[in-house]
Amino acid sequence: MRSAKCEVRSSIAHPAPRTTHVALVCRVIMRIGVMGGTFDPIHLGHLRAAEEIYWAFKLDRVIFVPAAQPPHKEEQIEASALHRYEMVSLATVSTPYFSVSPIEFSRPGRSYSVETVREFRRLFGQECALYFIMGVDAFLDIATWREARELLALAQVIVTARPGWRLDEVERSMSPAQHHALGGPRFKYLRISEITSQMAMHSYEPRLILLVEVVSLDISSSEIRQLVKEGRSVRHLVTDAVAAYMATHGLYQ
Binding site for ligand ATP (CB under 6 A): 37-40, 45-46, 49, 134-135, 137-138, 160, 162, 216-217, 219-222
Nearer to ligand ATP, 129 or 142 (CB): 142
Residue (33 or 37) nearer to ligand ATP, CB: 37
> How far apart are alpha carbons 59 and 215 in whole angstroms?
18
What is each CA distance from 68 to 84, 131, 160, in whole angstroms? 9, 21, 23
**Beta carbon of residue 135, minimum distance to ligand ATP (angstroms, whole number):** 2
In angstroms, the CA 125 to CA 141 distance is 28
Q: How far is the CB of 37 from ligand ATP (least distance, A)?
A: 3
Residue with Cβ nearer ligand ATP (49 or 129): 49
Please list the residues that pair with 135 across neighbouring strands: 160
Give the span between the Cα atoms of 234 and 91, in whole angstroms: 14
DSSP character for 30?
A: P
Angle at 155 between CA 58 and CA 30, to 5 degrees: 40
User: What is the spatial order of strands in the sheet that 156-160 belongs to?
Assistant: 98-100, 61-66, 31-37, 129-135, 156-160, 208-213, 186-191
Minimum CB–partner distance for residue 214 and ligand ATP (Å):
7
For ligand ATP, give the closer residue by CB, 8 or 174.
Answer: 174
Other CB atoms within a 10 A radius of the CB of residue 154 amount to 19
Can you tell me the distance from the alpha carbon of 120 to that of 92, in angstroms, rounded to the nearest whole number? 19
CB of 7 to ligand ATP, least distance (A): 38
Residue nearest ligand ATP, CB atom distance: 135
- Nearest distance, CB of residue 165 and ligand ATP, angstroms: 9
Nearer to ligand ATP, 101 or 220 (CB): 220
Q: How many other CB atoms sit within 10 Å of the CB of residue 252?
A: 17
- Minimum distance from CB of 3 to ligand ATP (Å)? 25
- The smaller minimum CB distance to ligand ATP, of residues 67 and 129, is found at 67
Q: How far is the CB of 72 from ligand ATP (least distance, A)?
A: 9
**36 CA to centre of own chain:** 6
Report the alpha-carbon distance of residue 65 to residue 42 in Å, rounded. 11
